[in-house]
Amino acid sequence: MDKVREKIKTKGLLFNIEHFFDRYKVIISVVFAVVALSVPFIGLSRATMRLLVMIGLYSMLGMGLNLLVGYTGQVSLGHAGFYAIGAYVCALLQVDAGVNFWLALLIGGIVSGFVGFLLGLPTLRLSGTYLSIVTLGFCEVVQMILKQWESVTYGNYGVRNIPKPELFGFTFNQQNGGFYIIILVLAVLTALGCHFIKNSKTGRAFIAIKEDELAATMMGIKTSRYKILAFVLSAFITGIAGGFYSVINNGYIEPTNFTFNISILIMSVVIVGGLGTIRGMVFGATILMLFPEVFRFLNEWRFVIYGVLLVLMMQFRPQGALGWQSTLPYRLSKETKKLLEKKKAAAEDASRTK
């Protein structure tokens, strides 16, 4: 026990926690996978399963927005728009064109990504608050189109009778845990994707742009290209999440499912969890989805408390609940270590022959 205490003292508690997770990551991943996959079979209530699905969905939405806000530092208040585009494209393709869910989901993501590209263009000229206002406007425009373009979107009536996803004859629904499995897979894939992007030249370029755009330019980073890429990726992920949402909402969606409030909710997930982290998105989604459920007995008052909590959060922990910088050393890949050893050996040989 003393040994542990000594260790914590010298390196800090955070280091030890991170070190623990790093050291046993294989075991922890396996345990997580087993637990996560067995959840549908342990007889949880329908409400709990729905809650878990929503947590997964908002983790994914958070990760999508985080790519943009957390990495490149471009604040978007229009993600409900991308969410709506993904949902409507996916739903309409299934209902009106009879396209298979999985294909429709992908097309929804791609269409959303393309719109992200178009919206990304003004970001070359705008930043900060101005950009946020443009994205806010985008969100309202999408809302208006959904309501007014009745011949395609069914207007306020909404899209109805959206079929449940199927795969090899198995129908995914809420009861059999199918929705849960889909979002689990989607969220894990998104997390892996974000992790890989972050630890590559693309992710470093994103973060460099956030930290100091001029310096990034002077390092040869084509900043406009990367800013648009961030928009496209973020919109793609959000669009996919929207497509998934269109099938879990009792078979129908309407414009009010995608109001500005949803943009704010996604932003809250990112901020509460911790800008620029993936773990934070899962945490933020969990807190924000649990909150209204746990405090249901407070009725309307829960929203007041929710607001107060957000304000306190901003005041005392602006980096987000889990928004710390890693205390572990920079991770060197196997290939890097091998190459380093090779170089070292070569240098020693050279000095010996001298």
Partner 1 sequence: MDFLKVSNITMQFGGLFAVEDVSFHVDRGEIVSLIGPNGAGKTTVFNMLTGVYQITSGTMEFEGHKLEGKTPQEIVGLGISRTFQNLRLFPKMRVIENVLVGTHIRTKYNFFDGLFRSKAFRKEEAEKTVRAIEILESIGLEKYINSYVESLPYGEQRKVEIARAIATDAKLLLLDEPAAGMNPSESEELLHFIRSLKDKGFTVLMIEHDMNVVMNISDRIYVLDHGKLIAHGLPGEIANDKRVIEAYLGGERKHAKNR
What residues line the site for partner 1 (CB under 8 A)?
A: 193, 196-197, 200-205, 207-208, 211-212, 214-222, 229, 325, 329-330, 332-333, 335-336, 338-340, 343
299: left (phi over 0), alpha (psi -120 to 50) or beta: left
Cα separation, 14 vs 154, in Å, equals: 52
Q: Which is nearer to partner 1, 77 or 216 (CB)?
A: 216
Cα separation, 229 vs 215, in Å, equals: 19
Q: Which is nearer to partner 1, 16 or 202 (CB)?
A: 202
Q: How far is the CB of 19 from partner 1 (least distance, A)?
A: 13
Q: How far is the CB of 65 from partner 1 (least distance, A)?
A: 19
Q: Which is nearer to partner 1, 202 or 249 (CB)?
A: 202
Nearest to 185 by CA among 247, 263, 110, 241: 241
Q: Which is nearer to partner 1, 293 or 348 (CB)?
A: 348
Residues 71, 63 contacting (CB under 8 angstroms): no
Q: How far is the CB of 202 from partner 1 (least distance, A)?
A: 5
Q: Which is nearer to partner 1, 223 or 259 (CB)?
A: 223
Cα separation, 143 vs 141, in Å, equals: 5
Q: Which is nearer to partner 1, 25 or 343 (CB)?
A: 343
CA distances from 265 to 269, 272, 287 (A): 6, 10, 12
Q: How far is the CB of 74 from partner 1 (least distance, A)?
A: 16
Number of H helices, E strands in the chain: 16, 2
Q: How far is the CB of 207 from partner 1 (least distance, A)?
A: 6
Q: How far is the CB of 192 from partner 1 (least distance, A)?
A: 9
Angle among Cα 265, 126, 141 to the nearest 5 degrees reads: 50
Q: How far is the CB of 222 from partner 1 (least distance, A)?
A: 6
Which residues does residue 253 pair with via DSSP β-bridges, in sequence order? Answer: 159
Cα separation, 127 vs 227, in Å, equals: 11
Which residues, in sequence order, are CB contacts of 166 under 8 Å at separation 6+?
Answer: 101, 172
- Both tokens of 240, joined, read 């996919």
Q: Which is nearer to partner 1, 197 or 269 (CB)?
A: 197
CA distances from 98 to 93, 95, 107, 152 (A): 6, 6, 13, 15
Cα separation, 118 vs 133, in Å, equals: 16
Q: Which is nearer to partner 1, 297 or 330 (CB)?
A: 330
Q: Which is nearer to partner 1, 171 or 200 (CB)?
A: 200
Q: How far is the CB of 215 from partner 1 (least distance, A)?
A: 4
- Both tokens of 156, joined, read 């306020």
Q: How far is the CB of 94 from partner 1 (least distance, A)?
A: 28
CA distances from 236 to 102, 213, 242 (A): 15, 24, 10
CA count, 13 A, side-chain hemisphere, 327? 15
Angle among Cα 81, 83, 88 to the nearest 5 degrees reads: 95
